[in-house]
Each structure stands twice: as structure tokens, then as C-alpha cells.
Amino acid sequence: MSTHVAIIGAGLSGLALALSLHQQRIPCTIYEARSAPLNIGGAIMLSPNALRILDTLGVYNRIRPEAYSFDNLYFRSPADTPLDTYEFGNAAKYGYSGMRIYRHVLIRELSAMVSEAGIPIHYHKKFSRVITETESNITWEFEDGTTSTATCLVGADGIHSKVRKYLYPDLEPKFMNAMAVTAAVPTSQLAIPEGYNIPVTIMNKTHGAFVIAPQLRDGSEVLIGRQKRSAQLDREGWTKLMNDKDWCVEFLREGADEFPEIVQRAVSNISAEKINLWPFYMVPKLEKWSSEHCRVVILGDAAHAIPPSAGQGINQAFEDVFTYALVLARCEGQKGGLERGLKVWQRGRQERVDRVLALNAQIDKRRMPKAVTAGEEKEEEEEEKGFELGWLYKPDFEAMVEEWLAWE
């Protein structure tokens, strides 16, 4: 195939996209603004839909030895009683249990596989702007003044995407007036009571929710974290706050005596080296994810932002890249095929993203304090039933793409 795809961003989405394109025998090149692969960041949660993709790409068995496997997320009330359970995986039902894996481990293995496949990665190459787009190719410039041309340019460069500026010059991600601070501590420090299920989110009306989630294969380490409302800062301000480890520790400990004892033990000894801070941004629903001649495409966080309630942010990004590669392989080279293919791809992906957003809302509603009247008892009973998640966790992506391409 004469197609050559340029990928902007060597993060999780960009690397997975490169492997997905390689599997479809579509040549590609990755360009990354940083000087080396990203080796920082905490653990992420991967659900069966994403793990199925990683398995198809040959990644799953390489990361599994370093991952923590689990099936359920648990939620407890301010009184520390069981409140809700949310299924995040189940090998018998969906083919895979859920997984927590350090981001740098996944980056490491994806990068190694990209190298083994002979896919070029150019570091110190920061995308600047598109110069020209035609019906057959795209030419762009890097900040060092050099230029390059490819058949397609894909922005896998995150929520603050520079590639997105070509499609939406005036759009800026919206700060959600919230941020999270997390840390990692030894599980033994918590002295978890027998029968106390984790990963767990403990609700508190005054101080918000406190999260405890195991990581490392043997669960010997847990992430602890909480969110707070926050004023927006610029990049320098966020970096300064992240580097203020004393402030981060004090925030994690704030109001701890109003949480159960397990939280007090969790925050009793926190290593500054294990702290992360995350400001929350969102992108409004976009009318298009591709340019006029379909030579520029955005995906993942550059195209949509998904709140964390259902834990689907990176999982949906993996769905984006895998299905994009399938669509491109079937449509590129056909007259009008790419335009039509990208149109149905965005429509199909947006439908799944919208369904995830609806699931998020349903999850959030279930966890809010309830005041139920007699007339609402039936609705309340329906809400308390378990979620049907086969549509999310057990998709057939190839059949899904074929169905999209059959749309009129």
C-alpha cells in the first residue's frame, strides 16, 4: 500500500496506533516532542475491551507479568459500609480480568515492540503547524523549522493537542475546576481488615472521595488519592504545585481523621518520590475529527475527553486507534473511500463514547446520596440492579468496523 501515516505523539495512543497500522501492513512514522519515551506517571486501569486489543497486537502477554489483576471496583459509604460494586473485568464473562499496570511499563513494552517492528520514532520533533493539505497528502512543519510530508497525519498528542489546532484554531481544553493528588504506599501500611474489598473508593460528604487501589502484580503497593476543586493554573503553575511535595502530602492528609482508620493509616507515611498531581481538563463534543481532505485526523484525548467514573479514558483511546487502522486499511485507495470511512468511523466511535458517558452518569447517580419517595421505589430498584456491560467489555472490533462500513 502506498499510504504512509505520520503519527504525532509517542504516548500510549501513538505507540498503539503504530502497532495497529503495522498489523494492517500500513507504513507509519512516529514523531515525539520529548527527547525519549515517557517513563513517568502512575498506574492505569485497563478493561477487557482494551486488553482484547492489546492481546491482538501481541502486547498483553508482555505486560501481564507486571500487572495487578482484579474484577471489581468497590465503593463504601461515609460510614464505611458497602455502597456499590462495579464490574471492571471478568475472565469467564469477557475473556479478561481488569488490570492495573504502571504507565511506564506499558510505554516500555509498546516502544520495544515498535522498535522490533522497524517503525521509526523521531524524538525532539515538536509539531508546529500544517503547511498544505491536498487530496492526496499533507505537509507540515516542526518547531525546529524542518518539514515533512505524508499521506495522513494523525494527532495522538493528548488533550492539549497541537494537531487539533489545525481543525479548531480557537479551541482550548476546558478546565473542570478540579484536580487530583495521588501517591503510592506499601499495602502493608494499611493493615487492611479481613473481608475489606479493594480497589475501593470511600465517600465523604465534606472531603470528597478517597481512593485505594492495589498495583504491582502481587498487590504489595496501593495507589491512594483524592480530588479537590481548584482554580486553573498555567503549565508553570501546575509544575510548581506538583513539585511542592509538602503541599501534596498535606492535601492527602487533610481531614483524614473524618475517614475510616484505613485511610488514616494510608496517609501516615507518604514518600515524596511517589506523588503525582493531575489537573482535569475536558474537550467539548467535536463536530469533526478529520480535516477537509481527510488527511489530518485526531483521536484519543485530542478528540474526546471521558470523565473517570467508568475508568474508560485510555481504554476508549485504544479503541480509537485500533478501529482507525482497520478503517484505513479497508478504505484508503478507494475513490471517496477515505472520506466515507472516516465519517462512519467517527460516527461509530462517537456512539460508543456517548454510551460510555451515559454509563458514567448512571454510575455517578447511583453513588449520590438518595432520598427515595414511595413513587420512586421502582425506579430506585431498577437503578440498583447490576450493569449489563457485555457491549463495552466484549466487542468484536472487526465486525463492528464492517458494520460501520455497511452504513449508508
Q: Is 217 exposed, middle or buried (0-12, 13-18, 19+ CB in 10 A)?
A: middle
Whole-number pLDDT of residue 193: 94
Please, what are the averages of pLDDT over each run of 10 residues along the chain (408 residues)? 90 97 98 85 92 98 98 94 93 97 95 98 97 96 98 96 97 90 96 96 90 96 91 92 94 95 97 90 93 96 82 94 97 82 96 91 66 46 65 97 89
The CATH 3.30.9.30 portion of the chain extends over: 175-282
Alpha-carbon torsion angle 249, 255, 258, 262, nearest 10: 0
Domain 5-67+103-173+283-405 has CATH 3.50.50.60: yes
The model's pTM is: 0.92
Whole-number pLDDT of residue 346: 97
The CATH 3.50.50.60 portion of the chain extends over: 5-67+103-173+283-405
Q: Long-range contact list for 381-387, CB < 8 A, 24+ apart?
A: 386/87, 387/86, 387/87, 387/359, 387/362, 387/363
What are the cell numbers at 2? 502506498
Distances 95 to 51, 58, 112, 156, 393 between C-alpha atoms, Å: 9, 15, 26, 28, 9
Cis peptide before 27 (omega within 30 of 0): no
Whole-number pLDDT of residue 323: 98
64: DSSP letter: G
267: DSSP letter: T
Whole-number pLDDT of residue 365: 73
Domain 175-282 has CATH 3.40.50.800: no
H or E element that contains 44: strand 43-46
Whole-number pLDDT of residue 248: 95
Contact criterion met (CB below 8 Å) for 158 and 9 = yes
Contact criterion met (CB below 8 Å) for 74 and 213 = no
CA–CA separation, 294 and 152 (whole Å): 8
244: DSSP letter: -
- Single-letter code of the amino acid located at 208: G
Contact criterion met (CB below 8 Å) for 15 and 154 = no
